[in-house]
Amino acid sequence: MNVKSVVVRVPMELLKEIENYQNRQGITKRSTAILELIRLGLKQQETVSK
């Protein structure tokens, strides 16, 4: 898999929600939690748009 580093500014409130998700899921890296949330959101969007 090819990867590219991306710098993103995230509102603190959203960051807190991401960290809460990360802790609940037992995910060690924030970037992994963010990627998982993006994948879940995209999968849900795909389902809704069908």
Categorize the per-residue pLDDT at 49 as very low, low, confident or very high, splitting at 50, 70 and 90.
Answer: confident
**Alpha helix positions (H), the chain:** 12-25, 30-48
Q: Between vectors from CA 10 to CA 33 and to CA 13, what angle results, nearest 5°?
A: 85
pLDDT tens digits, residue range 22-36? 999 999 999 999 999
CA distance 13 to 6: 20
Report whether pLDDT(50) > 90. Answer: no
Distance spanning both ends of the chain, measured CA to CA: 28
Tokens of residue 31, six digits:
């970037």
Q: Look-up: residue for tokens 């809704």?
A: 48
pTM (predicted TM-score): 0.86
